[in-house]
Amino acid sequence: MTGDFEPSGIEKLDSALGGGFPKGGVSLIVGPTGIGKTLLALQWLAEGARRGQNVVYISTTVPIERIKKYYGESKFLRDVVDKIKWYNMDVEPKEMIPFTESKQKKLFHSVMPDIIDEDMMPKIKIHRGVIDSITSFDKIIGDKALFRYVSSQFIKYFNRVGISAMLIEESDLGQITSGGEMRNFAEATIVMDYIESKNMYMRALKIMKRYGVNHPTYWMPFHITDEGFEL
Ligand SMILES: Nc1ncnc2c1ncn2[C@@H]1O[C@H](COP(=O)(O)OP(=O)(O)OP(=O)(O)O)[C@@H](O)[C@H]1O
Ligand SMILES: [Mg+2]
């Protein structure tokens, strides 16, 4: 079964996921600001890069230079920071509304011209890809039904070309038990939140689903260190 997973290298998490995140499928990470979504995504990409895979990080919010500045020196990232393919994606409303296949093609090619051709075909095998975050599309589009449609088109694309994708969705504090707007499109969904324990708040994550795996459903507290996630 080893071929079916794209592990994060965070042992406890991978084992709770039955080996790792779904290979060739889409995972969704949902949580409030500052909880650790970007960090988890970067750690997952770093693990792929360390295994010699082609991995892609797309930021729709914070400029890549800033992301690299904050995380690039961390122990979990610094050995592979130059192996990750980094992209900014700044989308204007007119590039998404109305949403058509040709707009999707243009978008992907313009963001990643070196690895995605004008027909949206990858020029190299892309093993892992992260979009941080799809909430930006939600805000640009401003319509839940259309947002779901656009996201589902992205997901179909990732499935078609065999990219293991991780989509990040921002949630408001205390609103995540629903698992996010895109929860039913993903094969694995992880929610993160601050949980109260002994009058303190701690970071915790919960696997809401992982198709094909009998996973735990309890909150797993974690810490963030220079080495990344510590469960
Ligand atoms: N080396 C470190 N040691 C301890 N904590 C760290 C370290 N690096 C980052 N952090 C913590 O991780 C938090 C940021 O996590 P991250 O950027 O992944 O959040 P996020 O969920 O992506 O938030 P947002 O929705 O705002 O993008 C920081 O606020 C900081 O508290
Ligand atoms: Mg983030």
**Mean pLDDT in residue range 31-50:** 97
pLDDT-based confidence at residue 175 (cuts at 50, 70, 90):
low
CATH number for the domain whose boundaries are 2-230: 3.40.50.300
Q: Which residues surround ligand 2, an ion (CB under 5 A)?
A: 38
Q: Which is the closest atom of ligand 1 to the Cα of 36? A: 18
| pLDDT beyond 60 at 62 | yes
Ligand 1 atom closest to residue 31's alpha carbon, by position in its atom list = 21
Provide the residue ranges of all domains of the chain, joining segments of one domain with +.
2-230
Report pLDDT for 197: 86
Atom 11 in ligand 1: residue holding the nearest Cα: 224
**Cα separation, 121 vs 143, whole angstroms:** 28
* In the predicted structure, residue 30 carries a pLDDT above the cut 90: yes
Whether residue 90 is predicted with pLDDT greater than 90 in this model: the reply is yes
Q: Atom 18 (ligand 1): residue with closest C-alpha?
A: 36
Measured by CA distance, the residue closest to atom 5 of ligand 1 is 224
Q: What is the mean pLDDT of the chain?
A: 94
Please say if the pLDDT value at position 143 is more than 70. yes
